Amino acid sequence: MKVLVDTSIWIDYFKGAQNSVGLDFLIDENLIVTNDIILAELLPHLTIKRNFKLISLLREIEPLPIQINWQEIIGFQVKCLENGINGIGLPDLIIAQNANDNSCSVYSLDKHFRLLNQVMDVQIYE
């Protein structure tokens, strides 16, 4: 199964922190994918830092096309609110939907994905 690596994992990985230790395995096994939302969160900072080699490497990762089903997103947000899950942003909802649409799991340090799992059955990579 492919794994959609969220921005929080990449940031942790770039800092050399220990919360993203599984990423090396996923990279070595060619199991990672990305999407335009995650790249849009990462690339501006890397551009300012002039880290063009890293930008080039990130752009080589298989991208998942994003086709947003807005009615489904609204439904997920309603389910979240009905279950007392507040503060889930649209980017996280779209990332979760994108992973589900492409039969991928999400690798993230963001607690929002674990909360979303309660209402939309997003697969979490552990």
Exposed e or buried b for every residue in 93-114, given b needs 16+ CB within 10 A?
A: bbbbbbbbeeebbbbbebebbe
Q: Convert the pLDDT of each residue in 50-74 to its tens digit.
A: 999 999 999 999 999 999 999 999 9
Task: Using DSSP bridges, classify how beta strands 3-5 and 62-63 pair: parallel, antiparallel or unpaired.
Answer: unpaired
Domains of the chain in sequence order? 3-120 (3.40.50.1010)
Amino acid identity at 35: N
Q: Convert the pLDDT of each residue in 94-107 to its tens digit.
A: 999 999 999 999 99
pTM for the predicted model, two decimal places: 0.93
Q: Are 98 and 83 a contacting pair, CB within 8 Å?
A: no
CA distance 115 to 99: 15
